[in-house]
Amino acid sequence: MELKYLPAAWKRGTDFLGTRYAILCGAMTWVSESNLVSAISNEGGFGVLAAGNMPPELLAKEIQDTRRKTKFPFGVNLITVAPSFRDHIDIVVREKAPFVFFAGSIPSGKDIEHAKASGAKVLCFAPVLSLARRLIKQGADALVIEGNEAGGHIGPVATSVLAQEFLLNITEVPIFVAGGIGTGEMIAQYLGLGAAGAQLGTRFVVAEECIAHPRFKEAFIRAQARDAMPTAQFDSSLPTIPVRAIVNEGTKDFNRLQLELLDKVKSGALPREEAQIKLEEFWIGALRRAVVDGDVEHGSLMAGQSVAFVKKVQPVREIIEDLVTAAERKLAEMANGGPWVAAGTVCR
């Protein structure tokens, strides 16, 4: 399909990323490894490796393997609260990763400076406008805003609200929108608001090139949007970051663990910080059981509400083509008036 509108609509994003399309694949632990990342970059998108809690030298190997599988740009996502975070920064600098993403919490100015020392471009997840402005002053080259429709650990605000807040107020750097995006039509809408591009994760879980267990993929295909729900915090004595996942027995396991740890925290038998670590360790193990071992009953099925648009296993090429084609058609419709309703007219 000849693209007439998309190249101009996401030019800021494609120029920044050095890609054909400004479609990023979100970093998903155990999922976003060299095979999927390179496949996405090879098809014109932008793949992002998930460092997660990976041993540092394994992260180095993943970067090297990705370089061997693609000649196109890709990024590495670092979790600022991961135990090996400091080592991970050293690895991306040593390996000269072309793009570095900071997620999890707000990185320091020194973290950003250190990552940029090797020539990398730095992208930061920004939860609120004031922090976004600070990150830009500290050297962030671009921002990612992710609404709570996303899978995994989430914040409190919807993508649609974040988009209005950020895209209408920040112009200094490119902004990529994430969370609940599963169609090209929605990508077009955010581009129309000024987004540089869009990040998707859930749609790419069912890619043929994704190494996730077949049962993990099948759970996504069967799920509806309402099946991907956030966990609840039972008591402020034990603060927990909500995690959005397809509800299963693993969700109940987490709730039971949270209640057990809450009792220990309240009784003084366990420090709050140690309890929070145990909750995070639960997710690390549960996610691996689901993605790698295929335990879709007690493992964690982290998924965004865009799981509603996951219908079948497809090659990365088809997924990207579907998104691009739909986005182009929607932009053409928007440019030419599109369906509309006004007094005295009939919606066509």
**Tens-digit pLDDT profile for residues 304-333:** 999 999 999 999 999 999 999 999 999 999
- 64-70, long-range: CB within 8 Å, 24+ apart, which pairs? 64/95, 65/34, 65/38, 66/34, 66/37, 66/38, 66/41, 69/34, 69/35, 69/38, 69/39, 69/42, 70/37, 70/38, 70/41, 70/42
Residues 6+ apart with CB under 8 A from 58: none
Same domain, 190 and 256: no
Q: What is the structure's pLDDT at 1? A: 76
| Whether residue 341 has pLDDT greater than 60 | no
| Whether residue 346 has pLDDT greater than 70 | no
| Whether residue 342 has pLDDT greater than 60 | no
Q: Residue 347: inside a domain, yes or no? A: no
> CA–CA distance from 189 to each of 2, 113, 182, 195 (Å)?
20, 34, 12, 9
Same domain, 234 and 149: no
Portion of the chain with pLDDT greater than 90, in percent = 93
Instruction: Give how many domains the chain has, as a whole number.
Output: 2
| Whether residue 162 has pLDDT greater than 90 | yes
The structure tokens listed for 91 are 């690895």
Per-residue confidence band for 338, with pLDDT thresholds at 50, 70 and 90 = low
Same domain, 42 and 188: yes
Same domain, 68 and 193: yes
Q: Average of pLDDT values for 116-121?
A: 94
Same domain, 87 and 20: yes
Same domain, 282 and 194: no
The b/e string for 292-326 (b: 16+ C-beta within 10 A; e otherwise) is: eebbbeebbbbbbbbbbbbeebbebbebbbebbeb
Domain end, chosen from 239, 259, 291, is at 291
pLDDT, tens digit, 9 for 90 and up, residues 24-49? 999 999 999 999 999 999 999 999 99
Same domain, 77 and 139: yes
Q: Residue 345: inside a domain, yes or no? A: no
Same domain, 186 and 226: no
Residues 6+ apart with CB under 8 A from 159: 145, 146, 147, 148, 149, 150, 177, 178, 179, 180, 181
The structure tokens listed for 247 are 């509800």
Q: Residue 61: inside a domain, yes or no? A: yes
Q: Pick the closest to residue 147 from 122, 169, 130, 164 (CA basis).
A: 164
Same domain, 188 and 320: yes
Same domain, 227 and 187: no
Per-residue confidence band for 337, with pLDDT thresholds at 50, 70 and 90 = confident
Strands (E), the chain: 23-25, 47-50, 74-79, 99-103, 121-125, 142-146, 152-153, 175-178, 197-200, 228-230, 243-246
Q: Residue 296: inside a domain, yes or no? A: no
| Whether residue 344 has pLDDT greater than 50 | no
Q: Pick the closest to residue 135 from 119, 121, 123 (CA basis).
A: 123
Q: Residue 308: inside a domain, yes or no? A: no
> CA–CA distance from 223 to each of 41, 128, 308 (Å)?
27, 31, 7
Domain that holds residue 243: 214-291
Q: Residue 129: inside a domain, yes or no? A: yes
Q: Residue 131: inside a domain, yes or no? A: yes
pLDDT, tens digit, 9 for 90 and up, residues 196-254? 999 999 999 999 999 999 999 999 999 999 999 999 999 999 999 899 999 999 999 99
Same domain, 175 and 254: no
Q: Residue 128: inside a domain, yes or no? A: yes
Q: What is the CATH number of the domain that holds 93?
A: 3.20.20.70
Same domain, 281 and 222: yes
Q: What is the structure's pLDDT at 154? A: 95
Burial status of residue 264 (CB atoms within 10 A of its CB: 0-12, 13-18, 19 or more): middle
